[in-house]
Amino acid sequence: MDNQKRIAILGVGLMGGSLALQLKDRGLSKEIIGVDHSEIHQQKALELGLVDKIESLEEAIANTDVIILAIPVDSIVRILPEVLNRISDQIVIDLGSTKSLLVETVKDHEKRGRYVPTHPMWGTEYSGPTAALKGAFEDKAVVICDANDSDEDAISWTRFMFKSIGMHQIEMTSKDHDLHAAYVSHISHITSFALANTVLEKEREDHAIFEMASGGFESTVRLAKSNPEMWIPILMQNKENVLDVLNEHISQLRKFKSCLEKENVDYLKELMEGANRIKRILK
């Protein structure tokens, strides 16, 4: 297997840009070609040395061995079939935060085997090429979905790539992925957005409200800075799972509300001690 590839990255923002840096650093790329509809992003990606050159999608597909989709999930749904139509035997990998709809969209495509659906569990609340970070992805998990539906050489190089950039790999179905992602990622974004709105709403009448904000507040609300262009399609595509988690979360909040209203200290203690069990999972 020739492990060094010519790689096209669609979307040279936070994810695509950070991946490009890691691929170069680990010597996985002969050349990295950036594809991006934003001229500002194209320019920035070249300036920052994220990519070696910028090409159109058509040129990039013709000139590379691997095509990585690092764009919002609504764009992936649109562009993935087009990419599969154009390739010969290139490997196509997407990094989207949802998986079921993408997989469903191309399930009968004759080039389905060339496609590997993945989700690296790393990100920040920032976006664009300037948000790209060196050393990203290291020691984080990446989910590879429905591995049996991809060709062996495609899965094999994808595994090699993620291993080389320091990620540990989890395999599951795209359906299970979307359920789990709703619980450990998508809901956190909704609670942060809603918490920001809760406090900003109050600030309209009380300007001093943020003078006291400290680390705890910042920690729970930082995801509210996330980009709507990226997050709207994620939540819409994973609507059913996200609604299930959101309903459960609202019902958990109502338990706290009821404890306070009824001054039920015993049950409040039980709820908090239950939540403390998260120590098992978080370091």
Chosen residue from 67, 102, 192, 234 binding a copy of itself by CB under 8 A: 192
Q: Do the beta carbons of residue 93 and residue 71 sit within 8 Å?
A: no
**In this chain, which stretch among 17-25, 39-47, 153-161, 196-204 interacts with a copy of itself, using CB under 8 A?**
196-204
Shortest reach from residue 245's CB to a copy of itself, in Å: 7
Shortest reach from residue 250's CB to a copy of itself, in Å: 6
Shortest reach from residue 53's CB to a copy of itself, in Å: 32
Q: Do the beta carbons of residue 128 and residue 225 sit within 8 Å?
A: no
262-281 binders of a copy of itself (CB under 8 A): 263, 265, 268-269, 271-279, 281
Distance between CA 9 and CA 241 in Å, rounded? 29
Chosen residue from 6, 109, 140, 175 binding a copy of itself by CB under 8 A: 140
Q: What are the DSSP calls for 44-95, one per residue?
A: HHHHTTS-SEE--HHHHHHH-SEEEE-S-HHHHHHHHHHHHHH-SS-EEEE-
- Among 54, 60, 99, 56, smallest CA distance to 76 is for 99
229-248 binders of a copy of itself (CB under 8 A): 231-232, 235-236, 239, 242-243, 245-248
- Among 28, 21, 92, smallest CA distance to 60 is for 92
| 40 lines the binding site for a copy of itself (CB under 8 A) | no
| 191 lines the binding site for a copy of itself (CB under 8 A) | yes
201-220 binders of a copy of itself (CB under 8 A): 201-202, 206, 208-220
Angle at 5 between CA 138 and CA 57, to 5 degrees: 100
Q: Do the beta carbons of residue 138 and residue 165 sit within 8 Å?
A: yes
> Secondary structure of the chain: what % helix, strand, coil (to 5)?
60, 15, 30
Question: What amino acid is encoded at 230 in this protein?
Answer: M
Chosen residue from 77, 82, 221, 234 binding a copy of itself by CB under 8 A: 221
Shortest reach from residue 22's CB to a copy of itself, in Å: 16
Number of residues that bind a copy of itself (CB under 8 A): 91
Q: Which is nearer to a copy of itself, 88 or 214 (CB)?
A: 214
